[in-house]
Structure 1
Amino acid sequence: MSILDEKEFFRFMLVNIANYQFGLPIGERLFPRNEIYFIFSKFFNRPKQILNSHGEVIATLDNATGTLLLHRAGARILHAETTSPRFRVFVSDESFAFARLGYNVFCKHVTSIDEDLRVGSEVLVVNNNDELAAVGKLMVPASAAKVLKKGVAVKVRWGLTPKTEIKHK
């Protein structure tokens, strides 16, 4: 198997994972042909991080679950390619500012949510004007996120501030 074939195989695998996780045709939008690069895991010999042609990380492949963990560039693509309310958690303006800085979103600040989301889903944190603030993982069922008054609704992985972008753990 040549290197070109191996790269194309991994791209095919990632496109199918993205299509399964986010729906058609997101995989082709996230990972366009000849515009992505891989950083491989030393232990698994599989792509660990996927970068675009500008060197920005699009996503990380989670080997434990076989799903994609979106980074800032991937979140921007998913936001641009999907219509509201898919994959979105809408938050109050107060919480929006903190989510942009990388802080977690609490249930009491959730104003609306995509009801099709499940616990552990990759979500986009947006305000009521559908402006992207952050990307993270949903921690509670979608039906409970608006009702609960305590607890973390979204564990934010990456905040997207206008000029500088901050990672918060």
Structure 2
Amino acid sequence: MDDLSKVRTVADYQFGRGAGDALFPDDAEFRNTRTGRVSQVLHDGGRLATLKTDGRLTLSDTAGERLHQAFEPPRGRVEFGDESVPYLRDGKNGFAKFVERVDDDVRAGDEVLVTGPDDEFVTTGRAELCADEMRDFGTGVAVLVR
């Protein structure tokens, strides 16, 4: 299996069917470790994703935008209110008390799309809580922003 097929398969598993094709164009390039394992996926001179040693992808904002366009809300999203958006854009973490809506399938540890009102893409991050906890908790970090 070639590198493109591998990362597309990982993306489909991690984000759902169709994610691999949406994230990684045919002309994507790969940066490999000395052992030959794919470590980064590049396109147009920028990083799209990093394949971590645990086999999961972390997304750049460019890749997040691609996934955001490919999937209908609320799939893979954590939506925050207006007051949080400037802080999230600056790389600050998103707190549970400011979560407006969240995809029911989000689990702690998932890579998520962070959005503002009206499904405006803001950035990507890692969920620290599952969807039910984000809705129920009044304190604590819901999403670690990259």
Same fold (TM over 0.5): yes
Dislocated runs of 4+, deviation >3 Å: none
Name the residue aligned to 1:149: 138
Equivalent of residue 41 in structure 1, options 2, 14, 33: 33
Shift in Å, 1:24: 1.6
Q: Which residue of 2 aligns with 1:105?
A: 94
TM-score normalized by the length of structure 2: 0.96
Alpha-carbon RMSD: 1.1
- Residue 129 (str. 1) matches residue 121 (str. 2): no
TM-score normalised over the length of structure 1: 0.83
Aligned residue pairs: how many? 146
Gaps of 5+ in 1: 1-7, 158-169
- Cα distance in 1 for partners of 2:120, 2:57 equals 22
**What are the superposed Cα offsets for residues 93-123 of structure 1, whole Å, 9 maximum, x if unpaired?**
1111110111100111101100111110111
Q: Contact 1:99/1:134 (CA < 8 Å) preserved in 2?
A: yes
User: Structure 2 CA distance, aligned partners of 1:113 and 1:28?
Assistant: 24
Give 1:141 deviation, angstroms: 1.4
Find the residue that maps to 1:85 and give its secondary structure: coil
The alignment status of 1:59 with 2:44, answered yes or no, reads no
Aligned to 2:129: 140
Matched residues, percent identical?
36
Deviation per CA, 1:26-63: give whole Å up to 9, x if none: 10121122x11111113x321111001x1111100011
Alignment deviations for residues 64-112 of structure 1 (CA, whole Å, 9 cap, x no partner): x211111111101110100000010010111111101111001111011
In structure 1, distance between residues paired with 2:130 and 2:61:
24
What are structure 2's unaligned runs of at least 5 residues? Answer: none
Specify the structure having the higher radius of gyration (Cα): 1
